[in-house]
Structure 1
């Protein structure tokens, strides 16, 4: 085990998010487990590479119980927005609570439940591309397509009305904007409060009159005593974040990667049947979620031969799982025809992303439509001017904008 020493890098998370992979590769070369300091000042152990990541994500000694960690008087993790009242969702609890909460949400993400949504995704995709095509000059593919498409889809799944979707999207954009230091700016606090109020109103309406959507399902479970209001609100918040931000980044980061490798874009335009395979390669090449969500050691545990002491966070680098040279030939090359693609972009184990099927469906429709409508799509700026500053700074990584020429 090494304590990572990188010139000019004092804390893990201060790295250049516009181009983090050279650093990730350098750290992975030094070994699979490293002690680091996070940007919030907490001590952590960083796990790199495919095999070590898989081991960590499956390890029973690593807990996701956020409330227990917060009760440790700040020694493990600091409380963030919107606060601990929203820290009881499936990504922040352990079994049996995790099993119960995940089981309640799972039916909404089955093939049967998603099938009727596919036509709506196609319709929304077409409308967004129509709007972009009607504009003159370069367009921002994030603001005009990669962001509103997934937000509309998760809104549809939750049963959120279009007017509420637009307001929620603005508040979440503000809340998810990175800020320096540990104290959130006033606008983030206001946005957080607005989100809490909006979701609370939605829950109240569904409790009064349950509907045939995900929120309605959870409301019926709340009436039956299977889920608490705190868990319901926490779950909605988590589902909105996970249901739109990750897919926004998958689309935006994926298009950016393809346009930086125009021969790969041309290969897909010539053979759209490759799109599903290409999506897996894009997930491997540039993971929208480069690090796993919160985990900490409840007792001394050993990962990849390194002992990690109890009470310390463990951060799993999912990005290097996809670019591990021990797992992939030419891991830093983008190849949409790569015959075998292993990645952990959706995690692994019991916390594997519940919405992975939906994300793949949205991405398949989005990339297929983009390739058909705009086969000559190209960047409107130098690729070195692209900025990946949309996200929370560690777990989430997305483009703030993607200026492109449509033809």
Structure 2
């Protein structure tokens, strides 16, 4: 008998989807599903099949080609197909070209050089939260969101004076909705983003800076290496990927640690454990729950199932990361786990370009936050938290995380060193 959950995949409890993922995974690695919007797709939920699919030559990311062939294929979100010519929405050789143009900004030396700046931003944000003196603070609004958004804005060259508006538009655009059509506020936010990015390109042409948008403009104007549409698409994708996933990683990870106080205490006592713990958090509660859409160029055999040609495919990274065939006690968070390899950043040619940056931000955020506020606790029970942030199937994160930074009567650790506050 067909599992009823497969009839409306995506219409499930976002606050705790893992029991459902385990149930579906136990039924096999590959399933034909009906998405919540009525479209048909194939879902992959086990680790080995997911890893194979993520780098399978028979699966394409070129949704323009899919839409041209079959209008029933789902186009992913706003601003729409016109902004889909970025590295996550094309195949080689276009993918190779677009990724190469952005890759220098995310190289190992460039990311390592960002450490002092990221530390300064973290310290400044925590200074602000502490200075407010509020009994309860929202860790998403006050810390987990502005940290990665500030970093990616600086990398791209988005002026500080524009960031409140841009951040608000992206927050509105990425807010979940159960309506069959995008809500009016999301459409308005999308239009504002498109208009702003067009204006930003014009500004960088007139007044170049030391930033990634200027580099893209130069490549387009001097070397004819990419089109205007590809520039706009790439900037849009980098803003989303550069802040939203890390916001969710910091929020999800903080909840995970607060629910496992003995493991959190171990991190506070020995901050060198944080990088390993971050990998386990990524495995245990991935901020990107499903990969972005692919479709089959031909019949593709995976896990004993043949997915027919020109079918839509989604890969559940979150389900694969808790596959008991891959991990011992996969439902348990264990920061001492020997095997913390995971698919949270994807695999193959579409492996997340910003993975190094996300790791750097998460490591500094977790080390500083939990070292500075070792007695921090959630202001609400776990059952009251809502994982309502994200776009459809792909992203999953907290819209807010109310915490008490230093409960009254509990000692608060003073950080060994605070970097200079970032400029306002």
Task: State the TM-score bracket (shorter-chain normalisation).
Answer: over 0.9
SS of equivalent to 2:117 = helix
Aligned partners of 1:133, 1:362: CA distance in 2, in Å?
20
Select the residue among 161, 164, 186 that pairs with 2:162.
164
Match status 1:300 vs 2:299: yes
Asked if 2 retains the 8 angstrom alpha-carbon contact of 1:389 and 1:400, the reply is yes
Asked if 2 retains the 8 angstrom alpha-carbon contact of 1:89 and 1:238, the reply is yes
Larger deviation, residues 329-338 vs 114-123? 114-123
Shift of 1:142: 0.4
Match status 1:107 vs 2:82: no
Shift of 1:49: 1.2
Select the residue among 63, 67, 75 that pairs with 1:66.
63
1:352-371 deviations in Å (ceiling 9; x for gaps): 00000000000011001112
- The equivalent of 1:206 in structure 2 is 204
Select the residue among 12, 24, 46 that pairs with 1:27.
24
Aligned residues, how many?
A: 404
Shift of 1:3: 4.8
Aligned partners of 2:143, 2:302: CA distance in 1, in Å?
41
- The equivalent of 1:403 in structure 2 is 402
State TM-score, norm by structure 2. 0.93
- The equivalent of 2:334 in structure 1 is 335
SS of equivalent to 2:69 = coil
Structure 2 stretches lacking a partner, 5+ long = 407-424
Aligned partners of 1:210, 1:219: CA distance in 2, in Å?
9
- The equivalent of 2:74 in structure 1 is 77
Larger deviation, residues 175-184 vs 276-285? 175-184
Match status 1:252 vs 2:251: yes
Shift of 1:79: 5.9
Aligned partners of 2:397, 2:76: CA distance in 1, in Å?
23
Shift of 1:4: 3.7
- Backbone CA RMSD of aligned residues: 1.3
Shift of 1:78: 3.7
SS of equivalent to 1:239 = helix
Select the residue among 113, 117, 129 that pairs with 1:132.
129
Aligned partners of 1:303, 1:201: CA distance in 2, in Å?
45
Runs of 4+ with deviation above 4 angstroms: none
Aligned partners of 1:285, 1:107: CA distance in 2, in Å?
30
- The equivalent of 1:178 in structure 2 is 176
Asked if 1 retains the 8 angstrom alpha-carbon contact of 2:63 and 2:75, the reply is no
Asked if 2 retains the 8 angstrom alpha-carbon contact of 1:90 and 1:101, the reply is yes
Shift of 1:260: 1.3
Asked if 2 retains the 8 angstrom alpha-carbon contact of 1:85 and 1:230, the reply is yes
Asked if 2 retains the 8 angstrom alpha-carbon contact of 1:389 and 1:397, the reply is yes
- The equivalent of 1:47 in structure 2 is 44
1:99-152 deviations in Å (ceiling 9; x for gaps): 000000000001222233221111111111011112321111001100010000
Select the residue among 147, 150, 169 that pairs with 2:148.
150
Aligned partners of 1:351, 1:257: CA distance in 2, in Å?
27
SS of equivalent to 2:188 = helix
- The equivalent of 2:315 in structure 1 is 316
